[in-house]
Structure 1
Amino acid sequence: MDATEVLGYIGALIVGLVLGLVGGGGAILTVPLLVYLLGFSPIIATAYSLFVVGISSLAGVIQKHRKKLVDFKTGIAFSFPSFLAVYFSRRYLVHSIPETLFTLGNFAVTKNMAIMVFFAIIMILASFSMIKKTKEDTLIYINQPYFKTFIQGLIIGTITGIIGAGGGFLYVPALVLWANLPMKKAVGTSLVIISMNSLIGFIGDLHNLYVDWTFLLSFSFLTILGIIIGGSLSKFISNNILKKAFGYFTLLMAIYIIYKEL
């Protein structure tokens, strides 16, 4: 095992720590780590990220369920359109995108470049949602017809399928605003959706990719170990401070990705 691989596995532990401390952001670290440090293509990196985030979120669901912070009925109802979109986007959409999208003179915009830039844009949106201070009591709860939730689930699922992310920063506000769940329960319930979406999206990739299971399971094991450690440490650190700090870190990572790709 060379130094790069060792750093990659240390990175897996850090991803878990972040998930355990902040409750999200796994893919924000996992995809750049796999692409820029370990040299995987964005297609493989986003697929591996779906598995890592899915398994990690499943561990998170168990933790949150013990604290009675998971609404399984709402989570499963909301996840149905989302996992359909994730599965089909991973199986058909991502792999049907041409290798070169278009050229501007001598500059070619490739599929890999487009996926990473799109990922960076989503990271920027996520960073703003983490940096911005919000109060739960200022939110307006609106019940809406299920067909609207179905359409929203399809849109969020397609986005998360393309970038290989869990989409927690999109699902938590949706569950608070549309499903009328308290914030803490929305976080726990979002993990149900994230785990289902991510693992089903990964299954969609199995038809198109060779998977190095030894590496992927080892990486995932270290991530889950990090979640357990992070969950214990989170009792001693302010969640608001962590989210804001991670928000700024995410913004810097997004800027770095855009600089690296363009």
Structure 2
Amino acid sequence: MSTLILALAAGAVIGLSLGALGGGGSVLAVPALIYLLGLTPVAATTAGLLIVALTSATALSSHASDGHVRWGTGLLFAAAGIGPAMLGSALAVHLPERALQAAFAMTAAVAAIRMLRPEGEGDATGKTRPGHVAAAGAGLGTVTGVLGVGGGFLAVPALVGVLGLQMREAVGTSLLVITVNSLAALGMRGGTVGRLDWAVIAPFAGAAVLGAWDGRRLASKAKGTSLQHVFALALLAVAAVMLIDAVV
């Protein structure tokens, strides 16, 4: 199969997931770039940040038009993660590739397990607790910066369980957080962006953006928990393969 077709197919899957679930899809972007398209872990995490930023911004506009974004809470959450995202991004380029790959695999496994657990709804008030927002935002920013993932699998549970948002609002608001954190982390890797293989990255990103629009429509028709569980099982298998490859 040609590289172009692989890039288009992988990008479409990541976009569908991000648009439908508000997170998780970006965790598959890095392994796809490494194993299907031959990028190094460092290059893959940089490309992942770019793809996640573009795709999340696209999905965000759709959720915002439906009134499912809490802008104040999302911006506060994102602001707490900007510094850690930038520091994590600067650190990532100096980590050994096997260590970066193993850390990514473990994070993907946590994401899959978290997605398999039943999700509770937030309270109707959606009260913002600044201390909790800052702590959760900083942790999410670090994960985004180091591993090149959006972190929606962490943001959505935090927005629901810690901040009391309803699930639809948490999904939409998480996309705002992901977009801001990804752009902040990407800013620290400006010197590496120019060295990316754009013949691979451009079609991948384009397919992901288009997939995000379709994912939003899919979410309105399919049962959310079913989509999440299927994706989580696939992600768990990917995490196992990556971890074995990193340690063997």
Q: Which has the larger radius of gyration?
A: 1
Q: Name the structure 2 match of 1:93.
A: 91
Q: Name the structure 2 match of 1:108.
A: none
Q: Does 1:205 align with 2:224?
A: no
Q: Does 1:222 align with 2:207?
A: yes
TM-score, with structure 1 as normaliser: 0.86
Alpha-carbon distance between aligned partners in 2 of 1:182 and 1:237, rounded to the nearest angstrom: 19
Alpha-carbon distance between aligned partners in 2 of 1:229 and 1:180, rounded to the nearest angstrom: 28
Q: Does the aligned pair in 2 maintain the 1:5–1:38 contact within 8 Å?
A: no
Structure 1 residues 238 and 4: alpha-carbon distance in aligned structure 2, compared to 1, 3 A threshold: same
Q: Does the aligned pair in 1 maintain the 2:92–2:100 contact within 8 Å?
A: no
Structure 2, unmatched stretches of 5+, are: none
Structure 1 residues 148 and 131: alpha-carbon distance in aligned structure 2, compared to 1, 3 A threshold: closer
SS at match of 1:180: coil
Q: Name the structure 2 match of 1:60.
A: 59
Q: Does the aligned pair in 1 maintain the 2:15–2:215 contact within 8 Å?
A: yes
Q: Name the structure 2 match of 1:105.
A: none
Q: Name the structure 1 match of 2:178.
A: 194
Deviation at 1:116, TM superposition (A): 1.1
Q: Does 1:178 align with 2:176?
A: no
Deviating 4+ runs (over 4 angstroms): none
Q: Name the structure 1 match of 2:145.
A: 161
Q: Does 1:151 align with 2:135?
A: yes
Structure 1 residues 199 and 217: alpha-carbon distance in aligned structure 2, compared to 1, 3 A threshold: farther
Deviation at 1:221, TM superposition (A): 1.2
Larger deviation, residues 198-207 vs 12-21: 12-21
Identity %: 30
Q: Does the aligned pair in 2 maintain the 1:30–1:49 contact within 8 Å?
A: yes
Q: Name the structure 1 match of 2:115.
A: 130
Alpha-carbon distance between aligned partners in 2 of 1:143 and 1:6, rounded to the nearest angstrom: 44
Structure 1 residues 134 and 181: alpha-carbon distance in aligned structure 2, compared to 1, 3 A threshold: closer
Q: Name the structure 2 match of 1:238.
A: 223
Q: Does the aligned pair in 2 maintain the 1:14–1:223 contact within 8 Å?
A: yes
Q: Name the structure 2 match of 1:252.
A: 237
SS at match of 2:68: coil
Structure 1 residues 67 and 143: alpha-carbon distance in aligned structure 2, compared to 1, 3 A threshold: closer
Alpha-carbon distance between aligned partners in 2 of 1:143 and 1:19, rounded to the nearest angstrom: 25
Alpha-carbon distance between aligned partners in 1 of 2:85 and 2:37, rounded to the nearest angstrom: 25
Q: Does the aligned pair in 2 maintain the 1:123–1:251 contact within 8 Å?
A: yes
What does 1:28-67 align with in structure 2 at a 5 Å threshold? 28-67=27-66
Deviation at 1:214, TM superposition (A): 5.0
> Which amino acid in 2 is paired with 1:115?
L
Alpha-carbon distance between aligned partners in 2 of 1:46 and 1:169, rounded to the nearest angstrom: 17
SS at match of 2:191: coil
> Which amino acid in 2 is paired with 1:24?
G
Deviation at 1:166, TM superposition (A): 0.3
What does 1:106-145 align with in structure 2 at a 5 Å threshold? 111-136=96-121, 144=129
Larger deviation, residues 74-83 vs 176-185: 176-185
Alpha-carbon distance between aligned partners in 1 of 2:75 and 2:204, rounded to the nearest angstrom: 27
Deviation at 1:257, TM superposition (A): 0.9
Alpha-carbon distance between aligned partners in 1 of 2:115 and 2:123, rounded to the nearest angstrom: 16
Deviation at 1:258, TM superposition (A): 1.2
Q: Does the aligned pair in 2 maintain the 1:55–1:199 contact within 8 Å?
A: no
Structure 1 residues 250 and 93: alpha-carbon distance in aligned structure 2, compared to 1, 3 A threshold: same
Aligned length: 245
Q: Does the aligned pair in 1 maintain the 2:4–2:200 contact within 8 Å?
A: no
TM-score, with structure 2 as normaliser: 0.90
Structure 1, unmatched stretches of 5+, are: 98-110
